[in-house]
């Protein structure tokens, strides 16, 4: 009797359960229904500036990398790029499929027909430095929006800060360390242009503007007014009868700041540590040389 009763109960239960499931499917949330559909996922992947350290009155570019990581095309997209105080709009470039217009004094508005699933696109937007304080960093933000609903909207915005260049003074003296102790003492002479061919500023950052060189004076002194908001290394090129003395030994006011020798022939090429140069600063890099044995 029990198996027969259980069988009749199951027959009554199954239709009832199926009906309930059908009713529930009719009232599922819209998100659940859309979850299986193709959707775009737009990402502002990279925002950087070129050059990294523009100065007052100069035009630079914000390079923006955009991708669709979703499984569906985006339809028409709109990109809004901010223009903060200290910068101003200039003639917007067109190309690579994008069309940009000056939306207001504070933004560009750019349009693109569609980003297909997996597609990548790049865009450069120009800015002019106008009134930004040298030595400060100014933020730029780019936000993209598609015509269609996205599977993820948390990655639609990217930003970067651009360092506004000013000037600084980098100076020093090249001297003959007669006793080789790494310290300049009374009676140790400067080395002039007969022994030192050039003092130059090397910048390791590729997308920056800066550098310069100087010929030393007869007393071994030199000075360069340099662009800022980047890394520098001072390099000294001298005739090969010299080598560098020990660097960073003892009192910083009287020691040598050369720490590396890159070559000895046909000329000596020695260099300081890298350092950051900022607007309004003064940096002293002295160079002690010994007679090469």
Structural domain ending residue among the three candidates 99, 134, 163:
163
The reply to whether 250 and 137 lie within a common domain is no
Query: Do 52 and 142 lie in a common domain?
Result: yes
Tell me if 77 is assigned to some domain.
yes
Q: How confident is the model at residue 35 (pLDDT cuts 50, 70, 90)?
A: low
| Residue 78 pLDDT exceeds 80 | yes
Who has greater pLDDT, 190 or 6? 190
pLDDT for the residue 22: 37
Same domain, 278 and 228: yes
Query: Residues near 243 by Cβ (< 8 Å), separated by ≥ 6?
Result: 261, 264, 268, 289, 290, 291, 292, 293
CA–chain centroid gap for 179, Å, is 45
pLDDT in tens, 185-228: 999 999 999 999 999 999 998 889 999 999 999 999 999 999 99
Our count of domains for the chain comes to 2
For 39-60, write each residue's pLDDT tens digit: 999 999 889 999 999 999 999 9
Q: What is the DSSP string of 192-255?
A: -TTTEEEEEEE---TT----EEEPPPTTSEEEEEEE-SEEEEEEEEEETTEEE--SS-S-TTTB
- Range name among 84-98, 185-199, 272-286 with the lowest pLDDT average: 84-98
Residue that has been written with the tokens 């360390």 in this structure = 177
Residues 56 and 157 in one domain: yes
Among 163, 195, 212, residue at a domain's last position: 163
Residue 230 has pLDDT above 50, yes or no: yes
| CB 198, CB 21: distance < 8 Å | no
**What's the rounded mean pLDDT across residues 77-93?**
92
Specify if 11 maps to a domain.
Answer: no
For residues 21 and 31, the model is more confident at 31
Q: Would you say residue 206 lies in a domain?
A: yes
Among 125, 142, 163, the domain-final residue is 163
Average pLDDT across the chain, whole number? 88
| Residue 6 to residues 1, 12, 18, 105, Cα–Cα distance (Å) | 9, 10, 18, 77
Could you tell me if residue 154 is inside a domain? yes
CA proximity to 114, closest of 84, 93, 145, 138: 145
In a domain, 153, yes or no: yes
Comparing CA positions, the residue from 189, 171, 170, 186 lying closest to residue 290 is 189
Residue 169's pLDDT is what? 98
pLDDT of residue 7: 37
- Domain of 282, CATH number, reads 2.60.40.10
List Cα–Cα distances, 261 to 32, 242, 258, 276, in angstroms: 66, 11, 8, 21
Q: Is residue 14 part of a domain?
A: no
pTM: 0.81
Structural domain containing residue 262 = 167-291
């Amino acid at each position: 009797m029990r198996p027969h009763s259980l069988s009749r109960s199951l027959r009554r239960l199954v239709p009832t359960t199926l009906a309930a499931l059908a009713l529930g499917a009719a009232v599922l949330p819209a998100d659940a229904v859309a979850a299986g559909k193709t959707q775009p996922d737009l990402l502002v992947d990279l925002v950087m500036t070129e050059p990294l350290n523009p100065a007052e009155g100069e035009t630079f570019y914000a390079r923006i990398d955009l991708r669709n990581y979703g499984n569906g095309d985006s339809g028409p997209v709109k990109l809004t790029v901010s223009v903060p105080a200290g910068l101003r709009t200039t003639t917007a470039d067109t190309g690579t499929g994008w069309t940009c217009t000056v939306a207001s004094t504070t933004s560009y508005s750019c349009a693109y027909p569609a980003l297909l699933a997996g597609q990548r696109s790049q865009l450069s937007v120009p800015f002019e430095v106008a009134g930004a304080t040298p030595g400060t960093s100014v933020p730029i933000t780019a936000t993209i929006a598609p015509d269609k609903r996205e599977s993820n909207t948390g990655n639609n915005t990217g930003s970067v800060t651009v360092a506004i260049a000013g000037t600084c003074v980098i100076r020093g003296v090249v001297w003959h360390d007669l006793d080789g102790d790494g310290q300049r003492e009374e009676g140790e002479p400067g080395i002039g242009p007969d022994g030192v061919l050039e003092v130059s500023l090397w910048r390791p950052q590729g997308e920056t503007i800066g550098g310069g060189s100087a010929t030393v004076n007869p007393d071994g002194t030199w000075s360069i007014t340099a662009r800022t908001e980047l890394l520098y290394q001072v390099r000294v090129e001298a005739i090969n009868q010299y080598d560098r003395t020990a660097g960073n030994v003892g009192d910083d006011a009287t020691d040598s700041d050369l720490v590396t020798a890159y070559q000895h022939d046909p000329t000596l090429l020695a260099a300081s540590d890298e350092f950051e140069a900022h607007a309004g600063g003064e940096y002293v890099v002295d160079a002690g040389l010994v007679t090469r044995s």
